[in-house]
Amino acid sequence: MGASGIANYTDKVIKGLAPEEIKKLVAWNKKFNEPYEESDIESLLRISKIVDTLWEKQVELRREVEEKTADKLSVYGHEDLMKDSRTTIREKDLIYQKLYKSEEMENAGPYARLKIDWKLLLPEACLMAREYRK
């Protein structure tokens, strides 16, 4: 999944300003682009399957929220044939917050589980990968 062009600084000025950092980047890039081991591929496929399942559930949930909160809207002579939800803005917000975003719920729904803060996980994941490959 790595790309050889990532963090590939060829500019002499940059190399002159931070030679040690550039050496570290070159070493990191080389390690980053090593072929995956079979166990890595199995893990990535397993994670991908979980993400695909969560995504499908999230899309279904989004449709449910839309169905429960949609309002009939006729504009410029176009008659909207959809069913009116007859909910207030406050009710719509609650439906969205509870069903879709899982706010104040005991367990996280598919949207919340997919919405991971990768900035928090990435350093740990990189550290784990580094330790694993030693």
Domain identity same for 54 and 28 = no
CA 97 and chain centroid, separation: 19
The reply to whether 92 and 127 lie within a common domain is yes
Query: Do 54 and 30 belong to one domain?
Result: no
**Is 29 a residue whose pLDDT tops 50?**
yes
Residues belonging to the chain: 134
Regarding whether 119 and 54 lie in a shared domain, the answer is yes
Residue ranges making up the domain that contains 70? 49-133
- Residues 35, 89: Cα–Cα separation, whole Å: 52
Q: What is the DSSP string of 40-72?
A: HHHHHHHHHHHHHHHHHHHHHHHHHHHHHH---
Asked if the model's pLDDT at residue 1 lies above 50, the reply is yes
| Residues 21 and 86 grouped into a single domain | no
Residue 66, in any domain of the structure: yes
Per the confidence metrics, is the pTM higher than 0.75?
A: no
pLDDT digits (tens, 9 = 90+) for 8-28: 788 888 889 988 988 888 888
Number of domains in the chain: 2
Looking at the structure, tell me whether residues 29 and 72 fall in a common domain. no
* pLDDT on residue 126: 54
Residue 127: pLDDT over 80: no
pLDDT digits (tens, 9 = 90+) for 67-83: 888 877 778 888 777 77
